[in-house]
Amino acid sequence: MTRSQTRPRRQALAEILGLMGLLVAGGLLAGQGGQTLARSVGGLGGASAPMPSRPWHGSNHTPLPSRGDGMAALDHNLITAASIGDLDLVNRLLKAGASAQATDERGRTALLAAVYNRRGDVMRVLIQAGADVNRKDDEGNSPFLLAAATNQIDVVRLALSHGADLNSTDRYDGTALIAASQHGNVEIVKLLISAGVPVDRVNQLGWTALLEAIILGDGSSRYEDIVQALLDAGADANLADREGVTPSRHARERGYKTMVRMLMRARGH
């Protein structure tokens, strides 16, 4: 962090803490005061800095009645605190009534902001507080899907124990298993297989998890482990892509000899 970035962030955090002081004193901020705080916190730098929040209800983005300026500021500040990993402030904002279901301009909840920024302690608190592990942002990412793609296995475990949708898909129509296979996340692949995520789901590219591991992987041992785990789970070694190219042919063309042997054994020849 540069010197020029340090002071604005400290100022923003000071303003959030000031808000909490007013809450503890006995009143929610409303009107112009809440709006001013929300604008100042929105000025934090970084790609994950949240925009003004929008409340939601259910799974279809249907807006709730207005929570008022003070509560909207709390919701917005919760997303900011989650994204920077301030666990103490997250806890205080939740106790003050901030909603773990509120989203910013990009559709991101506090939980998803925490997953994007790998804020493990914050993620656990938000999930325990009832944050939706399946709620997607405008890019089609949910906490469950993103954690699987970015190798955050503790979050995946928590998501699975808190209602993760095993059939949920990203914007490419790929499951968490497909994403984990693509990125070489061996232990998450095994965890998702054990949880029951379908192994032969085909995404928009016409690829299964098995094809993604072969085509997008680098042929290293971790991808070999993924291929074997998928085959052991019953993945179809003969299921070709849209051009009719089988997994074994893809592996052969890339010189992945160990994978070729695995696939030939699974095919029975």
Find the CATH number of the domain harbouring 106: 1.25.40.20
126, 162 in Cβ contact below 8 A?
no
Taking the alpha carbons of 263, 264, 265, 268 in that order, is the dihedral positive or negative? positive
Q: Are both 168 and 55 inside the same structural domain?
A: no
Domain that holds residue 21: 1-132
232 vs 256: CA distance, rounded Å: 19
Q: Are both 28 and 81 inside the same structural domain?
A: yes
Total number of domains constituting the chain: 2
124, 152 in Cβ contact below 8 A?
no
Q: Are both 222 and 240 inside the same structural domain?
A: yes
**Tens-digit pLDDT profile for the chain (269 aa)?**
444 444 455 455 545 555 554 444 333 333 333 332 333 333 333 334 333 333 333 334 434 334 566 678 999 999 999 999 999 999 999 999 999 999 999 999 999 999 999 999 999 999 999 999 999 999 999 999 999 999 999 999 999 999 999 999 999 999 999 999 999 999 999 999 999 999 999 999 999 999 999 999 999 999 999 999 999 999 999 999 999 999 999 999 999 999 999 999 998 75
140 vs 137: CA distance, rounded Å: 5
pTM: 0.76
Q: Are both 81 and 153 inside the same structural domain?
A: no
Question: φ, ψ for residue 152 (rounded to 5)?
Answer: -105, 80
Of 132, 149, 168, the residue that ends a domain is 132
Joined tokens for residue 142: 């949910």
CA distances from 246 to 172, 177, 217, 230 (A): 21, 19, 16, 15
Task: Collapse the DSSP code of 54 into the 3-class scheme (helix H, G, I; strand E, B; otherwise coil) and give the result.
Answer: strand
Q: Are both 211 and 95 inside the same structural domain?
A: no
